[in-house]
Amino acid sequence: MSQRVKIFAGNASHELGEKIAAAYGQPLGDLSIQRFADKELGPSFNESVRGCAVFLIQSTNPPAENLMELMLMVDAAKRASAASVTVVMPYYGYARQDRKDKPRVSIGAKVVADFIQSVGTDRLMTCDLHAGQIQGFFDIPVDHLDGATVTAPYIKSLNLDNLIFASPDVGGVVRTRAFAKKFGAEIVVCDKMRLRANEIASMQVIGDVTGMNVVLVDDIVDTAGTICKAAELLMERGAKSVRAVITHAVLSGPAHERIRNSVLEELIVCDTIALREENPKVKVVSLASLFARAIHNVVSHESISSLFV
């Protein structure tokens, strides 16, 4: 007899959770999140999970209570005798704090990894970590999915000629090259200098984009300052058009206004984070079917890498 699978979603990813469950072929599980008068959270499962393979879907973008809610969900499932608990974290919050880049700072990505494991999580499933090495913070299996599995086909559907890909900074070159390889295309680099976080001092383009349709590639867009400045610079350097493909649309602060007023044709994002407002320039492609297939392969002990290699 095959193990029963139950899929639940927290408040931060409820819409995506419903899509994943539907793609998997079953309804989303019944979960209640009680909120006490002092705003403390108390999740409870309204159906039995005893002996089940439980998958809990929740991105951990701000506020921090999204992470706390997820950890309480894991604890509740373990205490309810679930056979296994897999955290499905489409967006891994705090991933940008992956190392000590100056004295006396925390490594937030490691703290989150320790938190996830401390509550008894058996497996983590996530997508496009800011740094792939974060997988090494875990002593449990980590399924690292590739957002390009769904975004690359969308780019191909546009049938753009003279296509070239651009990294918005030097750190994203490996990611951009891997994406460009799917098209047999070249890449250019936008080299930026920062004075402080979320503030760019200067930027220059390494490579020729004259007459080219440029696609900027990155994993996260936060305030959209870098991506919009890079797009403007690429157009100044003679690009025919510029669009961007991003996995995680954090889009905080002035991001939406910047994107609306930018030279970007469109910003293609995945649905790892729910958009807080409508934006005509933002095109959302869903990762639901990819996560659903990954859940199926985990349960049936099939390859995960086969989904995107």
Burial class (CB in 10 A: 0-12, 13-18, 19+), 136: exposed
Nearest alpha-carbon partner for 141 in 113, 115, 100: 113
* CA dist., res. 97 & res. 261, Å (int): 30
Residues classed as catalytic: 192
CA distances from 74 to 19, 54, 56, 249, 295 (A): 21, 9, 7, 25, 17
231 backbone dihedrals φ, ψ, rounded to 5°: -60, -45
**Contact predicate 215/240, CB 8 Å:** no
* CA dist., res. 21 & res. 88, Å (int): 12
User: Helix, strand, or coil here: 119?
Assistant: coil
Opening angle at CA 68, ends 272 and 8, nearest 5: 55
Burial string for 18-39 (b: 16+ CB within 10 Å, else e) reads: bbbbebbeeebbebeeeeeeee
Q: Which residues pair with 88 in a beta bridge?
A: 57, 125
User: Helix, strand, or coil here: 172?
Assistant: helix
For the chain, the straight-line distance linking the first and the last C-alpha, in angstroms and rounded, comes to 31
The torsion region of residue 25 among left (phi > 0), alpha (psi -120 to 50) and beta comes to left
Q: Which residue is it, tokens 């929740």?
A: 58
| Residues sharing a CB contact under 8 Å with residue 231, sequence separation 6 or more, in sequence order | 216, 242, 244, 262, 263, 264
